[in-house]
Amino acid sequence: MKKVKADPKGVLTGSHYLDGDFAIAEGALAVGCRFFAGYPITPSTETAERFAERIPFVGGIFIQMEDEIASITALIGASWAGQKPMTVTSGPGFSLMMENIGLACMMETPLVIANVQRGGPSTGLPTLVGQGDMMQVKWGSHGDFRIIALSPDSPQECFDLTIKAFNLSEIYRVPVFVMTDECVGHMHEKVVIPPADQIEVVERKWYEGPKDKYLPYKPDKDLVPFMIKAGDGYRFHTTGLTHDERGYPVINAECQDWVVRHLVDKIDKNADKIIEYQEDQTEGADAVVISYGITSRVATKAIQEARKSGLKVGTMRLITVWPFPEKRIKELAKKVKAFVIPELNLGQIRLEVERCAFGLAPAIGVPHCGGWVHDPDDILKAIKEAVR
């Protein structure tokens, strides 16, 4: 993994008062994203607007495409020409992107997509919060594959995790998602942007061997193949079809097994290096609240109340949602009476916790269809039930 210094042109060093959407754009510019293709959709549009306003002074491309399908596909093309590309969207646009998210996975293309989640399904609640796309991001495109998804809980983390998302996408040659939500996206808070030399930027794993020996899909030791870019004389081929190490289509079960397992293993076997979460007072806790995004901010109030009344409550905030911290949840399941999972959907991550707990501790959900955040009392009630 080659680390380089951030290009200071894109880094707006200083202390700012920004909303989450703007902070995503600043994170992208800071880490060296110079290619943004997108389509307006509430509540994510501010990221595109910010990028459009800033990019002429940095040097790069902002293009408003004709739809979200074109946006994600242009990103794949741009990535293969050597750019670090990004787009931003919300539910309906995210649904439109699904087929080509699969193409990006199949072609092992680094790119970043931020989803500022709103209430769904369909047009749902364009201006109001939701967290209903957490399973869609993992399973939304057809077939078996793996992606990485992060969930920021503040504008500062929108900035930080966008940088992390780009770095992870370059390391693993995979689409990485910043799964934020309308509340965090529109929440204004202090965002500190460090000097350029303090921003960690990971360089793509460029191939440097002899040209005629290059194989675009030959996994390296870390399972990630080396990459090259169009125009450098490799005359390579890549396809969305099941393919061999050369990138040539091979339509049979053996090659399918090889390529699909590779896409899955590349992330699963590196999961420990990717997963990040924040724990507090889980040691000796009777109940652990597992949350992410805006819901973790709301849960804080309930947890404070519970602790005040003497309950032993720990918290686990998911920063990486996919891959999922299975091992840690299994460990905790042996020790706690129950998990409490508040989320702005009807239990998408709750089911995942239940799976990882292997029946050792119940996973009590605090479901909410979105449109507004939880009443902390509802989370408190669930905590009280959990510790009983």
Partner 1 sequence: MKEEDRIEEHSPMEKFLRMDRIPHIWCPGCGIGTVVTSFTEALRKSQLDLDKVAVVSGIGCTGRVAGYVKLDSFHSTHGRAIPFATGLKLANPDLKVVVFSGDGDIAGIGGNHLIHAARRNMDLVVICVNNFNYAMTGGQVAATTPIQANLSTAPYGNFEYPFNLPYLVDACGATYVARWTALHLRRVTKSIQEALGKKGFSFIEVITPCVTLYARRNRLGDGLNLMKYYHEKSEIQHGADTRTLAIDFQGKFIVGKFIDKEKPTYLECMNTHLQKALGEKYVPYGVRP
- Beta-ladder partners of 30: none
- The residue (of 33 and 288) whose beta carbon lies closer to partner 1 is 33
Query: Residue 246 or residue 262: which is nearer to partner 1 going by CB?
Result: 246
Distance, in Å, from the CA atom of 334 to the CA atom of 211, rounded to the nearest integer, reads 53
Site size toward partner 1, by CB under 8 A: 46
What is the nearest approach in angstroms of partner 1 to the Cβ of residue 66? 4
CA distance 75 to 62: 11
Our CB check for partner 1 shows the closer of 228 and 288 to be 228
Minimum gap (Å) between residue 246 Cβ and partner 1: 8
Please identify, among the stretches 22-30, 53-61, 341-349, 368-376, the one whose residues bind partner 1 according to the rule CB under 8 A.
Answer: 53-61
Task: Looking at residues 235 to 254 of the shown chain, list those that interact with partner 1 (rule: CB under 8 A).
Answer: 235-241, 248-249
Q: What angle, 0 to 180 degrees and rounded to 10, lies between the N-to-C axes of helices 326-333 and 348-357?
A: 60
| Diameter of the chain measured on Cα atoms | 69
How far is it, in rounded angstroms, from Cα 341 to Cα 252?
A: 42
Residue from 7, 49, 77, 279 binding partner 1 (CB under 8 A):
77
Q: Which of 65, 255, 260, 351 touches partner 1 (CB under 8 A)?
A: 65
Is 63 near partner 1 (CB under 8 A)?
Answer: yes
Q: Does 279 bind partner 1 (CB under 8 A)?
A: no
Q: Pattern 3-42, binding to partner 1, x per CB under 8 A?
A: ------x-------------------------x-x-----
Residues in Cβ contact with 211 at an 8 Å cutoff, skipping those fewer than 6 apart: 233, 234
Q: Which two tokens stand for residue 145?
A: 């594959």
Smaller CB separation from partner 1, 229 or 297: 229
Q: Which of 1, 81, 192, 346 lies at the binding interface for partner 1 (CB under 8 A)? A: 81
Of 39 and 339, which has the nearer Cβ to partner 1?
39
User: Which uninterrupted H or E stretch holds 87?
Assistant: strand 85-89
Neighbours of 140 (CB within 10 A): 16
CB of 161 to partner 1, least distance (A): 24
Binding mask 96-135 for partner 1 (x = CB under 8 A): ---xx--x--------------------------------
Q: Least separation, in Å, of the C-beta of 374 and partner 1?
A: 39
Tokens 């998602």 found at: 177
* Smallest gap from residue 68 Cβ to partner 1 (A): 10
CA dihedral 244, 248, 252, 254 (to 10 degrees): -10
Residue 231 touches partner 1, criterion: CB under 8 A: yes
Compute the residue count for the chain. Answer: 388
- Report the b/e string of 268-291 with b at 16+ CB within 10 A: eebbeebbebeeeebeebbbbbbb
Region from 70-78, 177-185, 200-208, 252-260 binding partner 1, contact rule CB under 8 A: 70-78
Query: Least distance (Å) from partner 1 to the CB of residue 39?
Result: 11
Residue that the structure tokens 């905030």 belong to? 317
**Contact pattern from residue 184 through residue 213 relative to partner 1, giving x for each residue in contact according to CB under 8 A and a dash for the rest:** ------------------------------
Distance between CA atoms of residues 149 and 178, nearest Å = 6
Minimum distance from residue 238 beta carbon to partner 1 (Å)? 6
Distance CA 183, CA 234 (A): 46
Paired tokens of 289: 């609240």
Report the phi/psi class of residue 276: left, alpha or beta, with left for phi > 0 and alpha for psi in -120 to 50. beta
Would you say 364 and 382 are in contact if contact means Cβ atoms under 8 Å apart?
yes
Binding stretches for partner 1 (CB under 8 A) = 9, 35, 37, 56-61, 63, 65-67, 69-71, 73-83, 85, 99-100, 103, 229-241, 248-249
